[in-house]
Every structure is written in C-alpha cells, then in structure tokens.
Amino acid sequence: MAVTSEDPITEHEEEQINEANASGLRPVVFVHGLWLLPTSWDRWRGVFQESGYTTLAPAWPDDPNTVKEANEHPEVFAHKTVGQVADHVEDVIRKLDKKPAIIGHSFGGLLVQILAGRGLADATVAIDPGPFRGVLPLPLSALKSASPVIGNPANHRRAVPLTYEQFRFGFANAVSEDEAKELYDTYAVPASGVPLFQAATANLNPWTEAKVDTKNPERGPLLIVSGEKDNTVPWAIANASYKKQQRNQGVTEIVEMPNRGHALVIDSGWRDVADTALTFVKRFV
C-alpha cells in the first residue's frame, strides 16, 4: 500500500517532488484514471523529460505500486472519490517550486480540469476526459462502458475489476485482439466504483465533487483530446466539455485523434497522442 489518507504524500511522491524542484526544470504532472496505475505514464514521462521537462505521476490514494500487487489486493481501491483524489494531487502540486503543466486521461482528464479550475496549472491537456456537472450527453456506448460499475448500486462501496470483454469494449475496441489482450494483462487493475456514480449523478447533485470551475481566469490554456472510436468517452461528451470550457477567457482547443479508442494513451499509437500533448504544452510552458 503506497498511500494512506492520514499521510497522503507517499515517499515515492516526495522523491519525485524533490527531484523536480532540484532540477530547476518546468514540471509536467500526469494523472491517471480508473483501471490504470501511475506507471501507465512511464513512456510519456520519458518523452517529456527528453524535451526538457521534469515529470511526476502522483498516485491516487492507496494505489499499489504494481499491477500484480493491485490485482492481489483490489480492496485498496474502494471508496476513493473524485474530490479526495483531486485534493491529493493538489497537495503534490502545491509542493512544487514551479507551476506545472498537467495531463490526465479519462477520470484523470476530469481531475486535471478540476485542478486547472483551481488555478494550479500553466497548461492542461485532458484526454478522453470524464464528464463533469453541466456536461449532458449520455451516449449508449458510454452507458455500456459504465455498466460494469453503475449496473449494481452495491459497487459504490467496492473496487471493481473489468473482465477482458469489458476492457475490450471500454478501452481496447480500436486495436487488434492480440494487442487488446496484451494491454489488459499489462495495465488493467481494479478501480473505485465511487467516481462513476459521482459522474452519473453530477447533474442532479449541486454539491457534487465532479464539478469544474470553467470560468476561473487563472485556469490557463486547455486542450481536450478525443479518440474518434472511444466508447467510454465518445466525441459527444468530449465536445460538450469543450463547449463548457470555451466560457473561459483562456485558450481552449479540442482535437480528435482518428481511429483511436479509450486506450489511446497506452496502446501502440500512444506516441502520436503524446506528441500532440507535448506540442500544445510547448506553446505555453
């Protein structure tokens, strides 16, 4: 177990913070979503470090260090909320000497928008981002992707793993069968059920944690990246988030990656997405 709620900054995160501050370089903070771990960003961190940035990949509270450990102890993922994770990553960012760029995928894409809305980023890239309050479209594919969790109210209190078939539909629908199996074996871990229930009820709950301050003038430039074939966060959701974010006076852009599914940050085409994010970050940071 890497993190506890009583001690939210892990030793590994402290090491990353200290290395970033000692480097004098501009930091880039990567935030993962459900069913993945911080290590899913390892290749991205290498690309950004080669381009002159220092990088960090904070964990969600109690994230295990490895996929093997995560699958042996799925119970550690239970009960984690959007607000809890956002506050944890904010704690990490506030210990940095320089304001970072932040990049997130799926629920990590929602989290980086929450953090940008708190004025904590000089540039933000939200990739296939989870919806926030005010984002209304609910395409059938998104409902099907969420059904392994929200189909059973008891999952609100549980950590929920995906079967291979569920991962194939929700993450790896745009790659070959062989690559989908490799991605599942390499990256898939259980996830907290809470965030999906929070997203599903965000438009009914005025006190929801799945809320983004889209109007903060300190939000900074924002790029939303959408995978054309994403079943979990289809274009309708990504574009609705973009339209909400356009209320901000800062730069707000959206790009669609052709023939890409929700696994676009970890599959064989990850470098194209990383280069798209890097190009955007370089314009501002």
Residues 53-75: pLDDT tens digits?
999 999 999 999 999 999 999 99
pLDDT reported for residue 7: 45
| pTM higher than the cut 0.75 | yes
Which residue type does 264 have? L
* Per-residue model confidence (pLDDT) at position 138: 85
Per-residue pLDDT at 4: 46
pLDDT at 5: 46
Q: What is the pLDDT of residues 36-48, one digit of tens each?
A: 999 999 999 999 9
Average pLDDT estimate for 89-112: 98
Higher pLDDT pick, 157 / 91: 91
Q: What DSSP assignment string belongs to 115-163?
A: HHHTT--SEEEEESPPP-TT-----HHHHHHHHHHHTSGGGGGSEEPPP
Mean pLDDT of 140-144: 92
The stretch 86-94 carries a mean pLDDT of 97
**pLDDT band (50, 70, 90) for residue 201:** very high
Looking at residue 8, its pLDDT comes to 81
Q: How confident is the model over 213-233, as pLDDT tens digits?
A: 999 999 999 999 999 999 999
Percent of the chain scored above 70 by pLDDT?
Answer: 98
- What digits encode the pLDDT tens for the residues 1-24? 344 445 489 999 999 999 999 999
Residues whose CB falls within 8 Å of the CB of residue 256, separated by 6 or more in sequence, listed in order: 225, 226, 227, 228, 235
Q: What is the pLDDT of residues 106-130, one digit of tens each?
A: 999 999 999 999 999 999 999 999 9
- Taking a C-beta distance cutoff of 8 angstroms, is the pair 181, 66 a contact? no
In which residue are the tokens 């991605």 written? 183
